[in-house]
Amino acid sequence: MARIIGGIGASHSPTIGFAKDTGKHQDPAWKPIFEGFDVIRNWINEKKIDVLFTIYNDHVTSFFFDHYSAFTLGIDDLYVAADEGGGPRAVTPAHGHLGLSQHIAKALVADEFDMSFFQGKAVDHGFLSPLSMLGDEQGPWSGQVVPLQVGVLQFPIPSAKRMWKMGKTLRKAIESYPEDLNVAIMATGGLSHQVHGERAGFLNEEWDAEFLDLLEKQPEKLANMRIAEFAEKGGWEGAEVVMWLIMRGALSDNVKLIHKQNYAPSVTNIATLVFEDLGEAATPDEIEAYRQHLDYELQGAELLKGTYPLTHAVSHANLRINAFLHDLVLPQHRTRFLTDFEALANERGLDDEEKTLIRERKWIEMIRRGVSFFVLEKMAAVLGVPNPQVYASFRGETLEQFLATRKVPITYSVAGGAQAKAMDKAE
């Protein structure tokens, strides 16, 4: 079974990545940062950590305010560096653990957390600054990751208590995963800092020391604080340390402090922290009961004939073709789809099977493979095919046969404007 070995706290200031990329290891002003991360790296290697569940916030890079979620879990197998404005960092992509991420996703939803999920998105310094410090001169850290992005930059944001509760679910989720894995929970961000407004440059090292002490000994006191209190004590952006309560909530009450350091060279008080978890693991009966809880909502759905649930595993395996068809909402993509399909498909990396499925309009085969109906609906609209014709194809019927089973034999499409009128006229 998977087990939580301990928890890590690490600031994620871009300062950290800058120091590494520019070789500041021995510079007196920067050296304490490296020394703190050296301890983390050595502990990870000593404990043979397989997976880092990494809690971070994106800095309006891959997650913009047009769709901003409270909790967004990565369910991908590769996470590349994002371009934050001046070009991406030259760091090795992080490898995701697909099975564990999908299992945790199921657990968080089962325990009534309203989740979003991401694939195919790059990760910025919130994730990469600390992670990139865990490798050595031989290369990057060789383990896998599961990233959780927390939306803490646009209010309202989840409360500290909500973070704490998520940690409790995270513990149950990891312990119920059947693969033997050593897992560490790494919370990033903080400590005290503010980077906007006339309060820019604010630091509070006294509060930072108190926060780290409470996190170890009285975490529930932190969980009962309001976000405004965190902002007042630690700066507006420093309130992101509420994310550390997810990490602490995932640990048992019985933790051993292995390392604690903070260093405030400039705008952010940069901290590193390691807790070793000494608590008892869940019993086999507790694990089995929780697994049954995870499967409760969909139990039996797999028996529905002619039904193909779009699970995270299916979605990941078919992200490329789904993304290609989804982009038919873009006028320029639609035009090339109709006039230059082969070249467009090659540019987007579609394989021969995917191209054949689309080219020959193999509707049911695409559904069985894991293509969402709602991108097929877009494809049909572009081609001038009404929805009922697609339904008929799924059933192995002609359009006329399908319409004969309806109370009103109508045809329709999601196409708009002139396309809709042309399709209606054709019928």
Given the residues 193, 196, 316, 333, the one annotated as active site: 193
* 193 among known catalytic residues: yes
149 three-class SS: strand
Query: Which DSSP letter does residue 133 get?
Result: G
Around Cβ 350, how many Cβ atoms within 10 Å?
A: 19
Contact 94, 123 (CB under 8 A): yes
Contact 377, 387 (CB under 8 A): yes
Q: Which residues pair with 277 in a beta bridge?
A: 255
DSSP character string of 77-126: SEEPBP--SS-----PPEEE-HHHHHHHHHHHHHTT---EEE-S--B-HH
Contact 277, 254 (CB under 8 A): yes
Given the residues 97, 103, 125, 316, the one annotated as active site: 125
Around Cβ 182, how many Cβ atoms within 10 Å?
A: 16
Give the CA count within 13 Å in the CB-facing half-sphere of 293.
17
* 95 among known catalytic residues: no
- Strand ranges for 227-267 from DSSP E: 255-263
Q: Which positions are catalytic?
A: 125, 193
